[in-house]
A = this chain, B = another copy of it.
Amino acid sequence: MAPLLNRRDLQFQLFELLDTARLPERPRFADHSREVYQDVLKLAYSVAERHFANHARAADLNEPHVQGGRVVLVPEVEGAMRAFREAGFFSAHHDEELGGLQLPWVVMQAVMAHFQAANIGSSGYPFLTIGNANLQRVFASPEQQRRFMRPLIEGRWFGTMALSEPQAGSGLADITTTATPREDGTYAVSGSKMWISGGEHELTENIVHLVLARIQGGPAGVRGISLFLVPRFRVDGQGGVGESNHVVLAGLNHKMGYRGTTNTLLNFGEGGESIGELVGEPGQGLAQMFHMMNEARIGVGLGAVMLASSGYQVSLAYARERRQGRPPGSRDPLSPPIPITGHADVRRLLLRQKCVVEGGLALCLYASSLVDDLQTGPEAERADVSLLLDLLTPLVKSWPSRYAQDSLGDAIQVMGGAGYTRDYPVEMYYRDNRLNPIHEGTEGIQGNDLLGRKVTQAGGRGLALLWARMQADLDGAAGDGVADEIRRAVEIAAGQARDALQSVTSRASTLGPELYLANANAALDMLGQLVVGWMWLRQARAAARALPEATGDDAAFYRGKLQAARFFAAHELPKVRAQAELLASADRSTLDMQDDWF
């Protein structure tokens, strides 16, 4: 039986790679200690294993459906939500006065990782609810927070994000949902919202939708978009739940995977008014949403990593048991077949998974630790931290989403025909993860965000910070005893990426906006691979430092880290060059292609 996740590695990531154990030195975390964090993770493991992993396949096989006008989920989801609530995870990162533990975000993400590993579908409900509450925490009025945020933090109501519409997905500027002012200062929200996860269910007494809409008569484009709190059932001044707010389920989407998360088409204002309250100022809707995007996008990246992690654990356990074939050159048919971990190509498939899972986890937790630094780190560094986090966000979202798919393909491949059947969960993870390169901003959106905005933002300060931090690890690696070929592979790839970015950004005005962005995907892949290479360098440093004193399982663990870093350096980092050259060449082949030539 494969474990939910590699607990040893999570300890390594939080306490050997990151300085999580020193966060209690910050005032907000003064009551904490490493032991507190470990207890929280232990609780997460047990709740996730017991109440989430138990129905991942059942939810996949019995996707949400409508019966008697209500959305029916597999019954275990309710128990999962109760257990999550009772463990205090809806509020754990919030202020003590809100009932929270003031957990650092990096620990909160490590908690969430357990639920994403156990059951990505059911974890969607808390994921959205927490994100919704976090947004309200920043932008909603105290009055709104009392009525609409508190119930989310208590896990009594759930939340959604309602951005897309049937005609406007990636192009949010074209949403047409309207908000008509009512006499009491509220708005009547009217329009259709598509792809709304958790948009309708009977898990909670109420659902709070965060809806992007245009106030009637406002400007066209993004400047006219505002954000509204629109509950499923109306909420009175005391926070009591009243009659229907006329948010009508128009349909469920039937997806390839991620089936446990209900995904809906909702009509607002059908058969009556959907009353909504404006959040903050008019016209700030997209900005408010994007303020929360760093967080949501780290969450998507982490979800992808944890799906890959689950696939890795299952395929590794299988490979250790499955006997097949003999080593090359040893063809005695009477010798017993060997476990397939003995075959180089199977080890390649397992090593690549290990690199995606542990490299991706390092990246997501690194970014999460920057969220903490932004909120509780030294004041003087926060502007820089913010720029670095902005730069990393598209990479944190896209690299794991894309490479987890390859990794899960490798998990299937290790298991052969068995991996392709429903007898094992890897085919489900493979279907689940294919959503991740799409939602919360497609690959195309991430590429444009990276190259069109983030690398040049504040005069390239974010990028300069990235190079500086990477250089510091390169400088320290030799002293730690990291093998030279690992260090050199990162250095070479970094040089290639740096030159390529320099080459296009310096010519941006000559190239013009279309050609400048034409190969944004190459930039996204190039920088993603490099940053994960850097994460492997960091892991190799920590492992090389710890190995001399380590024995037994610990020594094997550190040797595995070093070997995976070596593998990534030899097999993956050299791929950066082709992407860097493509980017620097300002290749026009996609631009010059005409529609009728396809």
Contacts and interface: CB of A to CB of B under 8 A. Distances in A.
Interface of A: 164, 167-171, 173-174, 194-195, 219-223, 253-257, 316, 320, 323-329, 331, 333-334, 337, 339, 341-348, 350-351, 354, 405, 409, 412-413, 416-417, 419-423, 427, 430-431, 434-435, 437-439, 442-444, 447-448, 452, 512-514, 516-521, 553, 556-557, 559-560, 563, 566-567, 570-571, 574-575, 577-578, 581-582, 585, 587, 589-598
A361 B376 CA distance: 57
8 contacts: A220-B333, A253-B421, A347-B593, A409-B437, A417-B438, A420-B438, A570-B585, A570-B589
B590 A351 contact: yes
Given A350-B593, A567-B589, 12 more contacts: A253-B417, A253-B423, A254-B423, A255-B427, A339-B595, A341-B598, A345-B448, A563-B597, A570-B582, A574-B582, A575-B578, A577-B578
Contacts of A219: 333
A325 B439 contact: no
A434 B417 CA distance: 10
Contacts of A168: 324
A20 to B, nearest CB: 24
Nearest 5 Cβ contacts at the A-B interface: A221-B333, A560-B597, A329-B513, A328-B513, A256-B427
Contacts of A257: 420
A239 to B, nearest CB: 34
A164 B331 CA distance: 19
A296 to B, nearest CB: 16
A560 B598 contact: yes
A419 B316 CA distance: 31
A557 B324 CA distance: 48
Contact of A520 (B174, B316, B345, B566): B345
A422 B598 contact: no
Q: Oligomeric state, in number of copies?
A: 2
Contacts of A585: 570
Contacts of A419: 438
Given A421-B254, A514-B329, A348 B590 contact: yes
A430 to B, nearest CB: 7
A156 to B, nearest CB: 30
A438 B416 contact: yes
B324 A598 contact: no
A110 to B, nearest CB: 21
Contacts of A320: 595
A173 B595 CA distance: 52
A413 B427 contact: no
A420 B255 contact: yes
B170 A444 contact: no
Given A256-B427, A329-B513, A420-B435, A563 B589 contact: yes
A255 B520 CA distance: 37
Given A421-B255, A582-B571, A590 B512 contact: no
A555 to B, nearest CB: 9
Given A256-B422, A444-B345, A520-B345, A170 B324 contact: yes
Contacts of A346: 444
A575 to B, nearest CB: 5
B437 A344 contact: no
Nearest to A561: B597
Nearest to A439: B417
